Amino acid sequence: MIYSMTGFGRGTATSPTKKITIEIKSLNSKQLDLNMRVPGYFRELEVEVRNSLLKKLERGKVDLSVMVENTAPEAPACVNTEVLSAYKSQIEHAAEKLGVSVPQDWFSILMRMPESMKTQLQTLDEADVTAFRNACEEAAQNLSDFRECEGKKLYTFFIEKTSNIANLLEKVEPFEKERVVKIKEKLETQLSRLNTIEYDKGRLEQELIFYIEKLDVTEEKLRLRSHINYFLETMGPENEKPACGQGKKLGFIAQEMGREINTLGSKANDAEMQKIVVMMKDELEQIKEQVLNVL
């Protein structure tokens, strides 16, 4: 089985003072591209989380967001008297120096000054850290389960598409045999029109055999079947535990399948065979698009 790189996971955990929700979204990418949106007071855990996700997720464009809801009563904001006192002294000094009167409504002016109110800074305790880790672990596990589910869909899709290519390959054989007869008849018809030119029929037969051998597609068919089998083997059995890291390998195999199909098309020299090759290319293109989502 295979994993998909696409997925979503959410994890929630609580501490005595906070409810922490972590969401992880993953899309396809060549490497692990991790973007984290974490509240400032959780930044100390960012490196730890990044290293943990690197081991679990391996690849993908991953967005992680953390939402924190305070469940404990918030500490009331307090008037910052020390700051207000400093502002008042500075205003009085400035008024004296400039020769202007001091304001009459001190309180309304001072309360509009920056940092006139002070609140208690958010801090982390051990319970908050544990809740954060638990929420992250749950989100990562749910993402992994989602990827596994999507991987099963991709597995079914690849089975269908590779089977279609194999069936189309079987349809090539009747046209391949007819093609030889058609080529020979066509050449003989063209030569029969050249009444004034004599030619060695034995030599013609040799050249015809050489020409037909160049158009033989037996090796391409064998290699294409081999690539299809290798593709299925790399995905593994359907009921097997999903493995990671097959995505790039499956992409390389799909490229090799494309080379054989292209060569088959260049050697076809037959309209019906060309139609089959076009249909095979269409099936393979769909495989290539989806294999980019495989982990």
Give the C-alpha separation, 42 to 286, whole Å.
43
Secondary structure of the chain in HEC code, one letter for each residue:
CECECCEEEEEEEECCCEEEEEEEEEECCCCEEEEEECCHHHHHHHHHHHHHHHHHHCCEEEEEEEEEEECCCCCCCEECHHHHHHHHHHHHHHHHHHCCCCCCCHHHHHCCCCCCEECCCCCCCHHHHHHHHHHHHHHHHHHHHHHHHHHHHHHHHHHHHHHHHHHHHHHHHHHHHHHHHHHHHHHHHHHHCCCCCCCCHHHHHHHHHHHHHHCCCHHHHHHHHHHHHHHHHHHCCCCCCCECCHHHHHHHHHHHHHHHHHHHHHHHCCHHHHHHHHHHHHHHHHHHHHHCCEC
Helix axes 218-235, 246-268, angle to 10 degrees: 160
CB 26 within 8 A of CB 65: no
Residue with tokens 């593709």: 231
CB 35 within 8 A of CB 63: yes
Give the C-alpha separation, 109 to 168, whole Å.
84
The values of phi and psi at residue 118, to 5°, are -125, 140
Along the 295 residues of the chain, how does pLDDT read in single tens digits? Answer: 888 989 999 999 998 888 899 999 999 888 888 898 888 778 888 888 888 888 888 888 999 999 988 876 665 567 777 777 888 888 888 878 887 777 777 777 777 777 676 655 456 678 888 998 999 999 999 999 999 999 899 999 999 999 999 999 988 887 776 766 677 677 667 666 666 666 666 666 666 666 666 677 788 889 999 999 999 998 888 777 766 678 889 999 999 999 999 988 888 777 888 899 999 999 999 999 999 999 8
* Residue (of 54, 20, 48, 52) closest to 34 by Cα position: 54
Q: Which pair of structure tokens corresponds to residue 128? A: 């908050």
CB 246 within 8 A of CB 128: no
Give the C-alpha separation, 103 to 114, whole Å.
18
pTM of the model as a whole:
0.72
